[in-house]
Amino acid sequence: MIKSIKGTRDILPPESALWSRVENTAREIFERYGFAEVRTPIFESTELFARGVGADTDIVSKEMYTFEDRDERSLTLRPEGTAPVVRAHIEHRLQQETSIAKLYYLGPMFRRERPQKGRYRQFHQIGAEVLGSDNPAIEAEVLEMLQFFLRLLGIQDQTLLVNSIGCPACRPQFLEHLKRSLAEKKTGLCPDCQRRSETNPLRVLDCKVESCQPAIESLPKISDFLDSACRAHFEKFLGYLASRQVAFTIVPRLVRGLDYYTRTTFEITSGALGAQNTLIGGGRYDGLAEALGGPSTKGFGFALGLERILLVLQDRGNPPDPLTPQVYLAPLGERAFDTATLIAKCMRENGIRCFLDFDARSLKSHLRLANKLGSLYALIFGEVELQAGNYQLKQMTNGEQTTLTPDELMRAAESSGQADLRTSILKALFLARSTYHF
Ligand code: AMP
């Protein structure tokens, strides 16, 4: 038997309904804040990520799914969404003279990490990027939006961590101090951090290995090295958060390891997750567009892991939306089945979730299935009822059954205002009868 690949997952019903709910909530809220969707290809030239993420990051050095195409060009399954969005922004000249570009994306990413709870090799991100301004008010607005998004999903247990990593003008001085301090503490560091001390010292700061923590605690803090422009930017950002009543904690270890990441970085973590507790990560990347060969374009954005949002929702016992039928059609006999196909069409066109089985069944068998599916109503009719224009409507929750007559259908069709489910079913049935003449 062929099985799915390690680190990938099938998203099956009913869990898939919860996925849709999270995605739809993101679309609705992000669009309300003026973000428009971009969809970039799943694979790109490898160089985009080597330059856009950085050759000496874990992602590029050991986690990418890279392959050679038949024309010997090196391609890579996208490990993240920011570099592709910025590439598209440059390629299609989305730079607007009058305003910033607000873009969001949603889809699968690929990293060859060691699979564990909350960490997969194909995972899904929703992300957003604001391109064209370095105003700290944009950063606060994005965090306000994220907090609103999480609140709508019912995720309360979350913490916003923020930091500033300075800019290419003030960071070198910090790096000098950091390198010197790391050289003194090398023996207390894990092998990865010993390597990073040389290749990418900033990354040592966000190492999660327990035994590294005492050494990390005693390293110099970037906040002591920010120049006045970076300090003013950070303070404005924090002020905007405070006035919006968005709670935050400043964490000096929060860094991004590449030169074009500048100033603000942030993470939103959740106590409901285990070791992989980061729900959302983001920051400012004012140098990225230039690193990709485009015009200088300020940028700020984030990516959230859908699997992790789902873990938090499921951990809280959040049941998937029940996609149970609102009405189960129970035709008795062949002619009644043919009519039922037309009633189903009309019900569905009029917004009613309707179930029609394709096997001939007895009444008992129909009702057993309607019950099993959790249907709210069952509409029962045979040849005789069709002749008379009568239908039996059974409310499955309490077993109450009423006969619907042509008169009653007419009265429902003529009623105005907000219709309840029962009236909607009657209206759709009236419409089906008058459209298809039965
Ligand atoms: P990053 O692009 O590494 O900043 O990650 C942003 C978010 O994507 C993280 O906060 C996670 O929620 C999620 N994420 C990153 N890597 C994985 C993975 N391998 N599996 C599942 N989620 C991930």
CATH of residue 81's domain is 3.30.930.10
Domain membership flag for residue 349: yes
8 Å CB contact between 202 and 165: yes
Strands 36-37 and 262-269: unpaired
What three-state secondary structure class fits 366?
A: helix
Q: Note whether 425 and 386 are same-domain residues.
A: yes
How far apart, in Å, are the Cα atoms of 90 and each of 87, 99, 129, 293?
A: 5, 15, 13, 8
Nearest CA to ligand 1 atom 8: 305
- Does the beta carbon of 58 lie inside 6 Å of ligand 1? no
Domain count, the chain: 2
Q: Are residues 130 and 155 in the same domain?
A: yes
Do 59 and 122 belong together in one domain?
Answer: yes
Q: Could you tell me if residue 89 is inside a domain? A: yes
- Segment 341-347 long-range contacts (CB within 8 Å, at least 24 positions apart): 342/432, 342/435, 342/436, 342/438, 343/379, 343/428, 343/429, 343/432, 345/432, 346/428, 346/429, 346/431, 346/432, 346/435, 346/436, 347/425, 347/428, 347/429, 347/432
- Whether 282 is covered by a domain: the verdict is yes
User: Which of these, 50, 132, 41, 47, lies nearest to 84 by C-alpha position?
Assistant: 41
> How confident is the prediction along the chain (438 residues), in pLDDT tens digits per residue?
999 999 999 999 989 999 999 999 999 999 999 999 999 999 999 999 999 998 878 899 899 999 999 999 999 999 999 999 999 999 999 877 778 999 999 999 999 999 999 999 999 999 999 999 999 999 999 999 999 999 999 998 899 999 999 999 999 999 999 999 999 988 889 998 998 888 888 889 888 788 998 999 899 999 999 999 999 999 999 999 999 999 999 998 898 767 688 999 999 999 888 777 899 999 999 999 999 999 999 999 999 999 999 999 988 887 766 679 999 999 999 999 999 999 999 999 999 999 999 999 999 999 999 999 999 999 999 999 999 999 999 999 999 999 999 999 999 999 998 889 999 999 999 999 999 999
67, part of any domain: yes
347 shares its domain with 413: yes
- Residue 156 CA, ligand 1 centroid: distance in Å: 20
Final residue in a domain of this structure, among 258, 285, 315: 315
In this structure, which residue's CA is closest to atom 3 in ligand 1? 281
Does the residue 220 lie in any domain? no
| C-alpha separations of 400 from 260, 331, 369, 396 in Å | 67, 18, 17, 7
Closest atom of ligand 1 to 59 CA is 3
Short-list 13, 6, 1, CA closest to 319: 13
How many angstroms is it from 129 CA to the middle of ligand 1?
Answer: 16
Q: How far is it, in rounded angstroms, from Cα 225 to Cα 282?
A: 22
Domain that residue 388 falls in: 327-436
Domain co-membership, 302 together with 377: no
Contact (Cβ atoms closer than 8 angstroms) between residue 55 and residue 62? no
**In the listed set 315, 344, 363, which residue is the last one of a domain according to the structure?**
315
Pair of tokens at residue 193: 């951090």
Same domain, 380 and 311: no
Which of 288, 315, 342 is the C-terminal boundary of a domain?
Answer: 315
Q: Quick check: is 221 in a domain?
A: no
The token pair that represents 94 in the structure block: 């989305």
166 and 60 in one domain? yes
Residue among 231, 309, 244, 297 at smallest CA distance from 272: 309
DSSP state of 320: P
Phi then psi dihedrals of residue 140, to 5 deg: -65, -35
Question: Is residue 86 a contact partner of residue 268, using CB atoms and an 8 Å limit?
Answer: no
Give the pLDDT of residue 257: 65
Cβ 123 under 6 angstroms from ligand 1 = yes
80 lines ligand 1 (CB under 6 A): yes
Helix, strand, or coil (residue 172): helix
Same domain, 371 and 241: no
352 and 396 in a common domain? yes
Asked, for residue 41, whether it belongs to a domain, the answer is yes
CA of 53 to the centre of ligand 1 (A): 14
Do both 266 and 392 map to the same domain? no
What CATH number corresponds to the domain at position 336? 3.40.50.800
Q: Is the pTM of this model over 0.85?
A: yes
Closest residue (by CA) to atom 15 of ligand 1? Answer: 305
> Per DSSP, what are the bridge partners of residue 345?
none
Residues 275 and 351 grouped into a single domain: no
Q: Separation of 301 CA from ligand 1 center, angstroms? A: 14
Q: Does the beta carbon of 119 sit less than 6 angstroms from any atom of ligand 1?
A: yes
Nearest CA to ligand 1 atom 11: 305
161: CB partners within 8 A, 6+ apart: 248, 249, 250, 251, 254, 266, 267, 268, 269
Q: Is residue 54 part of a domain?
A: yes
Same domain, 78 and 113: yes
